[in-house]
């Protein structure tokens, strides 16, 4: 994790998952964990691919990571994808690797109570209980009933009372605690259920979903217009990433830099105006209030306009490069070890 010394003794909550997409429920659990468990920080571990989930409808890692960083937006929440760099796939392996890297840190695994009944499907779930303290937070429809599932019952004698939650991070595993916190109804499954889906033909929509942007014009023309607008407004370091075959949410991602908050917002405003004048009507944008990072979504193209510091911090180009590397076939010797 960037900037974390190997000898750190921080109390750190680990919240792992696909984050497809990240939402306020993740942030709610993290803030509750910081307060109720007396943690120094929470790390969101964005998984390249959950072994228990299909990759159907899974947005690219770089997209999920970027959204997670926007949603987290807290000085004590870090968002990274360490499994991609460590080469781990299962939670147990990830936890063990992090404990080797930071032997003096006090880690706690964080999860919603809705995960408790699923734990018996996780590879090495008993070893996970023995490797790291676990905190389960109440979720709508998954509170005390979840405590009657197989995994909590198997480790019932290691459960701490809620009043002892602040001791959890420094407790010797196995140790776990149920946190009956304020419920948050946000759900990645629910968000994906209402998210518009594209058909194979451009300009078409799935029955029952909101209309998609008019994609009757060639994407190359739209991309040329985007680039010309950015160049006219003196945007710097313009990068175009071809998403063909990598993502269902757009054909291209464009990243550019503005020197100040005012310039970032102006670049985005002018881009929206020029796209609408050219006949592209379904344009949406986010982030103009702050001006550090404005996203303009045309349907075919997603444009990120950053100030220099946020661009370096989020490093979208790097994440897409890492994802491309991860998608390459493994060498024969590595496949054999796996």
pLDDT digits (tens, 9 = 90+) for 280-299: 877 877 777 777 888 888 87
- pLDDT confidence bin for 62, thresholds 50/70/90: confident
pLDDT band at 207 (very low <50, low <70, confident <90, very high): very low
For residue 109, what are the contacts with CB-CB under 8 A and spacing of at least 6?
13, 14, 16, 91, 95, 128, 132, 133, 134, 135
244-248 mean pLDDT: 63
Q: Who's near 148: CB < 8 A, 6+ residues apart?
A: none
- DSSP three-state, residue 285: strand
Closest among 84, 67, 73, 72 to 247, alpha carbons compared: 67
If one looks up domain 11-190 in CATH, what number appears?
Answer: 3.40.50.620
CA separation for the pair 206, 212 (Å, rounded): 9
* pLDDT(5) > 50: yes
User: So what's the pLDDT on residue 54?
Assistant: 54
Residue 239 CB-half CA count within 13 A: 15
104/336 Cα distance (integer angstroms): 33
Compute the average pLDDT of residues 261-282. 91
What's the CATH number of domain 219-327, 3.30.460.10, 3.40.1190.20, 3.30.390.30, 2.20.28.120?
3.30.460.10
pLDDT at site 31 = 94
Q: So what's the pLDDT on residue 140? A: 65
Q: Which residues contact 187 (CB under 8 A, 6 or more apart)?
A: 23, 25
Q: Residue 212: which pLDDT band, with cuts at 50, 70 and 90?
A: very low
Q: CA angle, corner 133, sides to 128 and 134, nearest 5?
A: 80
| Token pair 């389960």 in the structure block, residue | 136
Q: What are phi and psi of 88, to 5 degrees?
A: -95, 155
Sorted by sequence, the CB contacts under 8 Å of residue 9 that are 6+ apart come out as: 104, 105, 106
Please list the residues that pair with 193 across neighbouring strands: none
Strand partners, 274: none
Q: What is the pLDDT of residue 208?
A: 36
3-state secondary structure of 299: coil
**Cβ atoms of residues 247 and 297 within 8 Å:** no
Residue with tokens 């759900």: 187
Is the pLDDT at 40 greater than 80? The verdict is: yes
Kindly report the length of the chain.
338
Confidence of residue 182 (pLDDT cuts 50, 70, 90): low
Q: Are 105 and 83 in contact (CB under 8 A)?
A: no
What is the longest distance spanned by two Cα atoms in the chain? 67
Q: At what angle do helices 316-327 and 61-72 cross, to 10 degrees?
A: 140
Q: What is the mean pLDDT of residues 217-241?
A: 91
- Output the six-digit token pair for 185: 């109804």
Question: What's the confidence (pLDDT) of residue 321?
Answer: 63
Name the residue ranges covered by the structural domains of the chain: 11-190, 219-327
The answer to whether 50 touches 88, Cβ cutoff 8 Å, is no
pLDDT value, residue 189: 45
Residue listed under structure tokens 């078409």: 204
Return the higher-pLDDT residue of 269 and 207. Answer: 269
User: Given this model, what pLDDT does residue 147 score?
Assistant: 86
Q: Which helix (H) or strand (E) holds 324?
A: helix 316-327
């Amino acid at each position: 994790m960037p900037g974390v010394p190997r000898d750190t003794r921080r109390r750190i909550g680990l919240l792992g998952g696909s984050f497809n997409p990240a939402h306020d429920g993740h942030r709610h659990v993290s803030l509750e964990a910081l307060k109720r468990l007396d943690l120094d920080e929470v790390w969101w571990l964005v998984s390249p691919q959950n072994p228990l989930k299909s990759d159907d409808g899974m947005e690219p890692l770089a997209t999920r990571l970027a959204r997670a960083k926007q949603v987290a937006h807290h000085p004590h929440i870090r968002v990274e994808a360490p499994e991609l760099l460590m080469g781990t796939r299962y939670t147990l392996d990830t936890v063990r690797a992090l404990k080797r890297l930071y032997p003096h840190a006090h880690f706690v695994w964080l999860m919603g109570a809705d995960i408790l009944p699923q734990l018996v499907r996780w590879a090495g779930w008993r070893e996970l209980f023995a490797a790291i303290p676990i905190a389960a937070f109440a979720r709508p429809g998954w509170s005390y009933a979840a405590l009657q599932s197989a995994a909590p019952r198997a480790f019932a004698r290691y459960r701490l009372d809620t009043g002892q939650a602040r001791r959890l991070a420094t407790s010797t595993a196995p140790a776990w605690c149920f946190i009956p916190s304020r419920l948050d109804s946000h759900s990645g499954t629910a968000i994906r259920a209402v998210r518009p889906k594209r058909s194979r033909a451009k300009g078409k929509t799935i029955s029952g979903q909101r209309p998609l942007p008019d994609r009757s014009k060639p994407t190359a023309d739209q991309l040329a217009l985007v680039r010309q607008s950015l160049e006219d407004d003196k945007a710097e370091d313009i990068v175009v990433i071809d998403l063909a075959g990598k993502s269902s949410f757009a054909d291209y991602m464009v990243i550019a830099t503005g020197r100040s908050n005012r310039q970032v917002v102006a670049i985005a405003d002018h881009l929206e105006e020029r796209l609408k004048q050219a006949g592209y009507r379904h344009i949406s944008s986010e982030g103009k209030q702050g001006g550090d990072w404005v996203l303009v979504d045309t349907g075919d193209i997603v444009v990120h306009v950053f100030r220099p510091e946020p661009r370096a911090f989020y490093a979208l180009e790097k994440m897409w490069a890492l994802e491309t590397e991860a998608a390459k076939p493994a060498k024969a010797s590595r496949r054999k070890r796996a």
